[in-house]
Structure 1
Amino acid sequence: MRSASRLKHLNPLRLLPRLQSARYPYERLPLDSRNGSPFSTSPPNQDHWLSPKRIGGDRWRMRVCRTSPVRLLLFAVTLVLLFALLAAGAYRVGKERELKNKPAPRELFAWEHFSRLNGYYNGIRSLVPISQYMPDNRYNASVPPQPVSGEDAISLPMTPLLNPEPFSPYPQYDSEEYLRDHFKVETCYLDEASKTPAPETYAYPGLPQHMSVPFLGSYKELGLTDSKCFDRYSRFAPYGYGYNASAGGLGLGNHSEKAGSERVFAQSGLVDYRKVDWGTAQRICYEKNRERFEGDIKVGDQNDTATAPKKKKIGRQAYVLRTWSGYYYNDHQIVSLRAMINELSLRSGGEYDVHFLVHIKDDSIPIWADAATYQQTLEANVPREFWNISTLWSEAQMMEYYPGPFTDNVANMAGSSIHSVYRSAHFALQWFAQQHPEYEFYWNWEMDIRYTGHYYELNDRIGAWARQQPRKGLWERSERFYIPGHHGDWTDFTQMVEHETQERGEGPVWGPVNDFENTGMLPPPDATAHPPRQYHEDNFEWGVGEDADLIVFNPIFKPNMTNWVFRLDVTGYNLSCPVPPRRAAIVTVARLSSRLLSVMHEETWRMKHTMFPEMWPPTVCLHHGLKAVYAPHPIYFDHDWPLDYMDRVFNHPQAEHESPFGWGEHNLFGSSFYYSSGFSGALWRRWLGQQENGEGGARSEKAGSGRMCLRSTLFHPIKHETNSAD
C-alpha cells in the first residue's frame, strides 16, 4: 500500500503547462493581483510526473515457462485490479484538490448585466438608406432586437440593394473656388512612370438596419460622415484585398462571403502592388506639388504686388508609425498601411508623409555608425515596399542624444531605465522632429490601431475641429467623455461643463500653469505666456482659429485624482517640493505640433525633465500654456448602457479607485477604443470575416445577412488577425 499512499498525492492537472501571464498592465485590478484582468484564472502548478526508472535487472522479469497458465491469468487480473484501484484513487484525490484550489467565480461587473448589442453583425444585405435606418440601442430601457438570421435572412436580397460609390473627403481640388486661393493639385501615382494613379476608396450610401450608434463621441460634431458604411471589399479592394498575388494582390478574402463585391472591382480594377515603392511615390508626389507648401506667393500681375492675390500655404504633416525590429506585418496590416499612405499622402497631393520609426531592440547593432549595417538591419525588419519611408533608432542612440543623469524620480513603477521605450517612447519622436523640421505636425500612431473609414477624413476633420475650439473651458471639457445622448449638442455640453466647474469651486485653467513650487522651469513661449484677457471677460474667443498643439483620443485627466499606476512617474523635479501638477491621456496616439515637440525636447535635454509617455505631452502643454484638445471620436460598446449611469461612471467617479483610468478601467473593456479593450479586436476581426468566440465567419455570413458594413470607426488595440477569412 506504499505505492497507493504515494499515488494519492499525484495531481493529473500538473501535466498541464503553466499559463503565461500578460505583461504588466497600467493598473492592477483588485480582483486579480497578477495581471489586472478580472477574467484571468490562476495557472495550474508546473510540476510534472517523473518518468518511471528501470530498477534492477532480470529479477523483475516473469519466467513464463515455469508458471502455469491459470496462475499467470490470476496474477494478471490482480495487477489490473490493483492499478485500477490506484488510478481511481489518484483521480478522486486529484479532482478533490482541483475543486479545492479552483477560484470562486468572480462577480460580474454592472455593465455585464446590460443587454448585448448585436446590430453590428447585421450584414450588407440589410442595408437601408439613412432615412430608413433605426439603431438597436435601447439604453437598457428594453431588449435590443436580435441580429437578422433564419427566415428573415432568407427574405433579404442576395446582393445589396445599394451600390458602392467612390468616397472622397478631399476639397474639390479642380474647382474654381479652391483654385482661387490655392495652387493646382497635381495628380500623384503609385509608380515612377505615372501609369497607375493613386486609387480611390469606396463606401455604401446607407447602413445595415439596426446597426448600433456610438455611445461616446460624435460624427456630427467632428464633421465625419455618418450616413455611409464600409465593408472589407469597398475599403480594401483598391489595396490588394480580394484578388491573388498573380494579379498583384494578397489573396485575402478569396473564400469569404463576397456577394456584390464585383461592383467594387468594376470601379477600382486590380492594382498591381508587386513593385510599389511608397517612399519614391511620396517623394515624387511632394515634388510635383512643392509650390503648395512653400508659403504665401503672390500671383497675377507681378508689377502690382499690392493687389495681387495670395495663394494659401498648405502645412505639411508627418504621420509617424511606431514599429520595431521583429514586428510581423500580416497581410491585413499591409492593406491598412497601403490605405493610410495612399489616402493621406498621394490622394492629398503631398499634404502628409507617412514614416515608419523603427525601434531596433538590439543595442549592439551600430545603426548610427555604418551605412551598410543600417541598410542590412532595415531590410531584415521592414517589408520591401516600406523601406524608403523607414527610419531606424535604438535606445542606445537615445542615451547619446539625451545623456543623463536623469535624477529625482518620484516613482518608477515600470521598473525600467529612463531611456527604455516603455518609459520614454517620446524621446524618439522628439529626436525625429528635430531631424525633420519641415513638418508642422507629427501624428504619433501605433501599429495596433485600425480604421474602417477614410484616413484623410479622420485627420483633416479632427484637425479642423480642434482649430475652432476656444481655450475657455478647454481643459475642463477635455477631461470628460462626451456622451451626445446624455449631454445634448456641443453647445449644451460646453455650458454644462462651465456650470459644473463653477459649482465645484475649481479655478479653470487659463494660460500656463507654472506657478507651482519647484525650481528650474523653462519659461513658456511668448505667444502663450499671457492670455489676452481675463477668463470671465472672454466670450469663448481666445483660441478660435488657433491650431491645437496636442490632439489626443481619450480624455486628458488629472492623474492625482486616480490610482493610475504611472501617475507618479515624474523625473527631474525637486523632490523636496510637491509633485508638479500634471495631466495624462491613456494611449500615446496623438497629433503633436512642432512647437510642442520643440518644448518637450528643450525640457528633456536642458532641464532633464520627463514623465511617463502618456503624461509628458499633456503636462508640457499645461505648464507652457499650449493648446491641448481631446477629440471626441465615436466609440462603440458591446452592451446597452443606460446613459445617465454611463455619465456617472466615466465622468463623475466617487473615489480615486473608481476612475476609468485606474481600477475602474474594466468599464472600457467592452468599448471599441481603449488600451485594454477586448471588444475592439473582436469586432474588427468579425468585420474582416473571421470567426470570434465561435461566432461569425464565412458560413455564418452566407447563412445570415452577409458580411458586416461599419461606419468609420477607430479600433484599438488589435493584437492579432489571421490571413484567412474562412
Structure 2
Amino acid sequence: MHEKQPSRRASDAPRPPRDRRPAVSTLAASLSRLNPLRLVPSRTSFRYERLPTFELAGGSGASSSGGGGGATLLGFRKFAWLPATAPESPGGSSSLRFGRPDRSFGWPRRLSPSRCRGALVLLVMLLALLGAGGYRRRLRRLEEEERRNHRDPYPWELFPRLNGFYNGIRDLVPFSEYVPEQVAVSVDAPPDFGPKGDEYVDHRDELPLDPVRFDPYPDYGSDEYLQDHFPVKQCFLDREEQIPVPDVYAYPGVPQNMTAPFFGSYRELGLTEDICFDRYGRYGPYGYGYDLDQGGAGVGNESESAGSEKVWEMVGERIDYRGIDWADAQRRCYEKNKARFESGDARDGKVKKLVPRQAYVLRTWAGYQYSEHQILNLRSMVSELALKSGGEYDVHLLVHVKDDSIPIWASEEVYNQTIRESVPEEFWGIATLWSEQLMRTYYPEPFPDNVENHANAPIHAVYRSAHFALQWFAQNHPEYEFFWNWEMDARYNGHYYEFHTEVAKWAAKQPRKGIWERSARFYIPDVHESWANFTELVEEETFTRQEKPVWGPVKFASDAVVETPAANEPPTSYLKDDFAWGVGEQADLIVFNPLFDPARTNWVFRDDVTGYNTSLPEPPRRAAIITLARLSRSLLAAMHDDVFRLRRTMFPEMWPPSCALHHGFKAVAAPHPVFFDRDWAPEHMDRVFNHPRRPHESPFGWGEHNHKGSSFYYNSGFSGALWRRWLGQRQNGEGGRREEEVGSGRLCLRPTLFHPVKREDGAYD
C-alpha cells in the first residue's frame, strides 16, 4: 500500500506583466535607440529552445495538429519552449570589412581645390539626403517588425517556473517521504534547486537507494495464473536460446520535491507511482552505455554515470545486439506460446482463457533517420511488449514509401530492397511497406462532398488520411484483436508493458454511461479529487447545462444507412442505467487526449469532412489531438467499411473518434500523468482547459499555446527539452554532465509519456 500523496495548494495568481515604456515617435528618440549594426543585413542563428513570438499571421488561420503528430498551418509562427529563467541567446552578429582601392586618389588637374571642396560638399549633402531617406525607411521597417513580433505574455508564462524535474538520483527518498514541488514551494522555506556544489563531489558513487528489477508481468508460473491460463514459455533473443530477454531497472523512490503531474493520475490508472527511472536502468539492458564494438548502441558513455555499475551488476553480461533479428525472435516466441491465443481446449477439466493478440504499429517512412536512441526505444518495445509477455504483442513498422513510382506491390525484389534502404537491418523483418498510390488503388476515387480541405492536399495524402494505411493493415492481419497506432516521436521512460496493459485494464472497467462526457475533459486531481468524484461532477455538469449525453450510436440526418453492431445498442435507457453497461467490456478506442467536439472550437481541421451530403447539416463528430491510440479490430472494420462503401472519411485525428461515435463503439480518453513546466493555479487550469467561454479560447484551437509547457501535446516544446535533459544533455545552457556531477546527479523521472521528441542529438557538456 502506498501512502496518500499530499494534496497541493493552489499557487498564487499570475503576476501582472511588466510595465513597458510607451513608444517614442520622434526622430531624435529613434536615433538615440539606433544600433547601426541592425541596419546591416546579417545571418542569425536559430535555436529551437528559444521562445519567439506566437502571433496571427495576416489576421487569419489557426494552429492545429496534423495526422502524424500535428503541424502548424497558416496562422501561427513557430513557438518553442524556453525555461522562464534561462537567458535569451544572442542574435547573430555582423562584421564590416572595409577595402582600399588599388589606386590612390588625386585632385583633377583642371579643378581648383575650392571648386573640388564645393563639389564634395554637394556630393556629401546629396548622399546624406539619400542615406537619410533610406535610413528612415529601414528604421520604419525595423520598428514595424518589432511591433509585429512583440506580444504580451500569455497568462501561463507568468506562473513561476517549476524545477523539481531536475532533482537527481542523489535526492531520492522513499515515496512515503516525498513532498511534491508544488507543495514545497508554498511553505516558508522553499527547496533549493539546481547544482548543490562540491558537497557531493567526494561521494558521487554513494546513492541513497539502489536500483531494483522492475517486473510488471503476471506471475506466469503461479497456481492462480495457471488455473485460468495456459503456461507461458520463456522467449529468447537468439535461436540457440542462450540470450534471455533482459530486465529493466528502476529506483524504489522519487527525488525529493520532484514536480507532480497536473493532469491524470498514476494511482487511478493502476500505474506504479512510487518509482523513477534513470537512463541507465531503463536503456542500459538494451545497449545504452557501451560501445558498438561491444554490441551496444554507442551512446551514453559521455554522460554522468555515478552508481550505474550497480545496474550492470544486476544485468550481468552485456548483450551483444549485433546480429539480433527481432522479427525472428517475435515469430519464435509466438510459436512457443500459440496455445495461449488459438485454443480454448479444456485443461484439467476447465476451459482456459484465451489472451487477445495485439499489433503495435509504429508509423514511419522511407528516409526516416533512426538515431541510436530510437533504436534503443524500438528494442525496448519488442522486448517488453512481445518477448517478455510470451507473444501477447507483435511490434510492426508500417513504412510509408513517399515515392509513388516505386512499384512495391509488383516486385518482391523491389519491395525487399526498399526495406533494406529504409529500415535498420535488425528490424527488416517487422517492416511493412505502403504508399499513397497503393491507397488510391485500395480506396479509389471519387470522394465527393468535402466540406473544407484546409490542408489543400489530396484525399489520399498521408496528412489527411493516415488512417487508410492502418485500415488496410488491419484488413490484412485478422489475427489481431487490437491495433496500437503509435508515432515515432513519442517516448515513454517507464515500462511499455505496464503502461499499455494498465491503460487497457482501466478502460475496460469504465462504464459507458457518461463516458463521452468524461472523456471530453482533462482530469485535474487538484480540482476534481478522485475519479469517482470527477464522474459525479461531469454528470451533474451535463444536466446543469441541459446537454443531451451520448447513449449508444448517435443518430444524424443522412442519406445513407450506417449499420451498427447490435452489441453497441444500449440495453436500457440512460436514466435507468446505474453505471453498469460497459463495465468489463474492452474499449474499442483508447486515446490520450480528450475526445472533444470540434464544432465547439475553431480547430482548423474541424470541417475536413468528406462523403456526407453537404445539403444536410454536418454530422456530429469528435476528435483527439495526436493519433496515438488503441483501436479494436471491430472499429477498424467499421472505418474501412464506411470509407470503402460510402466514401466517407475525415481528418485522421477526427475519423476514428467520429466513427466510434456514429456506430456506438466504446471510446475513452485515458487520464495518464501529464506534467507542466509552470506552477499553474489549478482552478485557472480547469477554466482554461475544461471551460473555455468562446470557441476561439478552446485549448484545441487558438488556445493551443497553453500546451507549450506540457509533457504531452503535438506542439509541446517542454516535452522534448525534458526528455533530452533526462538523457543527460544540456538544454538552454542548463544540465549536462558537469552540472549533474556536481549537483544532485542524473535525472530520475517518474514514468511519463512524452510527445513530441523530434531530436535526441544534444550536447552533454
2:270 pairs with one of 218, 223, 228: 223
Q: 1:425 and 2:472 equivalent? A: no
1:696 partner SS: coil
Is 1:464 the equivalent of 2:490?
A: no
Q: Residues 637-661 of structure 1: CA distance to partner in whole angstroms, max 9, x if unpaired?
A: 0000111111111111100001100
* C-alpha contact (below 8 Å) 1:130/1:207 kept by paired residues: yes
1:288 counterpart (336, 341, 358): 336
How far the C-alpha of 1:267 sits from its partner, in A, is: 1.1
Shift of 1:692: 0.7
Please give the alpha-carbon distance, in whole angstroms, between the structure 1 residues aligned to 2:576 and 2:198. 60
Distance in structure 1 (CA, Å) of the matches to 2:247 and 2:701: 42
- Inter-partner Cα distance in structure 2 for 1:229 and 1:411: 46
Q: Which amino acid aligns with 1:325?
A: A
Tell me, what secondary structure is at the counterpart of 1:192? Answer: coil
Match of 1:102 in 2: 145
- Which residue among 668, 686, 696 is the counterpart of 1:629? 668
CA distance in structure 2 between the partners assigned to 1:140 and 1:473 by the alignment? 37
2:195/2:739 contact within 8 Å kept: no
Q: How does 1:241-390 map to 2 (within 5 A)?
A: 241-269=288-316, 270-300=318-348, 308-390=349-431
Distance 1:517 1:11, change over 3 A: same
Whether 2:245 is the aligned partner of 1:198: answer: yes
CA distance 1:38–1:349, shift in 2 (3 Å) = closer
Structure 2 match to 1:534: 573
- Equivalent in 531, 535, 558 of residue 518 of structure 1: 558
Q: Is the 8 A contact 2:63 2:702 kept in 1?
A: no
Letter in 1 for 2:675: Y
Alpha-carbon distance in 1 for matches of 2:347, 2:444: 49
Task: Say which SS state the counterpart of residue 740 (structure 2) adopts.
Answer: helix
Report what 2:613 is aligned to. 574
- For residues 315 and 724 of structure 1, what CA distance do their matches in structure 2 show? 43
Structure 2 counterpart of 1:615 = 654
1:145: which partner in 2?
191
Which amino acid is 1:124 matched to? I
- After the TM superposition, which of the residue ranges 16-25 and 219-228 deviates more from structure 2? 16-25
Q: Amino acid of the residue matched to residue 348 of structure 1?
A: S
Q: CA deviation at 1:137?
A: 0.9
Contact 2:485–2:629 (CA<8 Å) still a contact in 1?
Answer: yes
Identity percentage of aligned residues:
56
* Preserved contact between residue 11 and residue 93 of structure 1 (Cα < 8 Å): no
Deviation at 1:264, TM superposition (A): 0.4
Q: Does 1:648 align with 2:676?
A: no
| In 1, Cα distance between equivalents of 2:350 and 2:167 | 53
> What count of residue pairs does the alignment treat as equivalent?
683
- 1:442 match: secondary structure: strand
Q: 1:26 aligns with which of 64, 74, 86?
A: 64
Q: Distance in 1 between matches of 2:203 and 2:174?
A: 15
Note the alpha carbon deviations across 1:98-145, whole angstroms, 9 max, x for none: 642332331011111111110000111111111111111149967963
- Provide the C-alpha distance between the structure 2 equivalents of 1:259 and 1:189, rounded to a whole number of angstroms: 31
Give the counterpart letter for 1:113 in structure 2: L
Structure 1 residues 18-27 or 683-692, which shifts more?
A: 18-27
Offset, 1:211: 0.3
* CA distance in 1 between partners of 2:304 and 2:264 (Å): 31
Flag the 1:39–1:201 CA change in 2: closer, same or farther, 3 A.
closer
Give the aligned partner of residue 4 of structure 1: none
Q: Compute the TM-score of the two structures, normalised by the length of structure 1.
A: 0.89
**Which residue is equivalent to 1:603?**
642
Deviations 1:544-578 (A, max 9, x none): 01000000000000000000000000000000000
Taking the aligned partners of 2:42 and 2:173, their CA distance within structure 1 comes to 54
Task: Give the secondary structure class of the aligned counterpart of 2:646.
Answer: coil
Paired amino acid for 2:227: R
In 2, distance between residues paired with 1:602 and 1:168?
41
Q: Distance in 2 between matches of 1:37 and 1:285?
A: 45
Q: Secondary structure at the match of 1:103?
A: helix
Deviation at 1:581, TM superposition (A): 0.5
2: distance between equivalents of 1:238 and 1:164?
13
Aligned to 1:134: 179
| Offset at residue 404 of structure 1 (A) | 1.1
Q: What amino acid maps onto 1:96 in structure 2?
A: L
Q: Where do residues 628-707 of structure 1 align in structure 2 (5 Å cutoff)?
A: 628-707=667-746
Cα deviation, 1:150-175, whole Å, max 9, x if unaligned, reads 35853995231211111010000111
CA deviation string 1:560-599 (max 9, x = no partner): 0000000000000000000000000000100000000000
Contact 1:521–1:607 (CA under 8 A) maintained in structure 2: no
Tell me the residue number matched to 1:303. none
CA distance in 1, matches of 2:418, 2:639: 29
Distance 1:562 1:146 in 2: 42
**Equivalent residue of 1:650, what SS?**
helix
Structure 2 spans left out of the alignment, 5+ residues = 1-35, 55-60, 67-71, 82-93
* Equivalent residue in structure 1 for 2:41, among 14, 19, 24: 14
- The answer as to whether partners of 1:252 and 1:724 remain within 8 angstroms in 2 is no
CA 1:635/1:647 → structure 2, altered by over 3 Å: closer, same or farther? same
Tell me the CA shift for residue 311 of structure 1.
1.2
Q: CA–CA distance in 1 between the matches of 2:403 and 2:500?
A: 34
TM-score w.r.t. length of structure 2: 0.84
Q: Secondary structure at the match of 1:682?
A: helix
Q: Which has the higher contact order (CA 8 A, sep 6+)?
A: 2
SS, match of residue 359 in structure 2: strand
Residue 331 of structure 2 aligns with an amino acid whose one-letter code is: R
Q: Distance in 2 between matches of 1:259 and 1:594?
A: 47
Aligned-residue CA RMSD in angstroms? 3.2
Q: Secondary structure of 2:182's match?
A: coil
Whether 1:444 and 2:485 are equivalent positions in the alignment is yes
Residue 621 of structure 1 deviates from its aligned partner by 0.7
CA distance in 2, matches of 1:206, 1:498: 37
- Could you tell me how far 1:704 is from its partner in structure 2? 0.8
Displacement of 1:35 = 3.0
- d(CA) in 1 for partners of 2:492, 2:251: 16
Query: Shift in Å at residue 523 of structure 1?
Result: 1.2
CA offset at residue 224 of structure 1? 0.2
In structure 2, the CA distance between the partners of 1:699 and 1:517, relative to structure 1 (3 Å rule), is: same
In structure 1, the partner of 2:12 is none
* Conserved 8 A contact 1:252-1:723: no
Q: Which amino acid aligns with 1:339?
A: S
* Partner deviation per Cα, 1:239-278 (whole Å, 9 max, x = no partner): 0000111210022111111000000011113111011110
Paired residues of 2:195 and 2:740 also in contact (CA < 8 A): no
Q: Distance in 2 between matches of 1:579 and 1:502?
A: 25
Give the match's secondary structure for 1:131.
Answer: helix
Q: CA deviation at 1:377?
A: 0.7
Q: 1:712 to 1:63 in 2, by over 3 A?
A: closer
2:513–2:551 CA contact under 8 A, matched in 1:
yes
Residues 584, 254 of structure 1: alpha-carbon distance in 2 compared, 3 angstrom cutoff: same
Instruction: Work out whether residues 174 and 252 of structure 2, in 8 Å CA contact, stay in contact via their aligned partners in 1.
Output: yes
C-alpha distance after superposition, 1:155-201 (max 9, x if no partner) = 99523121111101000011111111111111111111111001001
Alignment check: 8 A CA contact 1:162 1:205 kept:
yes
Distance 1:27 1:349, change over 3 A: closer
Deviations 1:9-42 (A, max 9, x none): 99854343898999994179xx9965354669xx
The unaligned stretches of length 5 or more in structure 1 are 1-8, 41-47, 53-57, 301-307
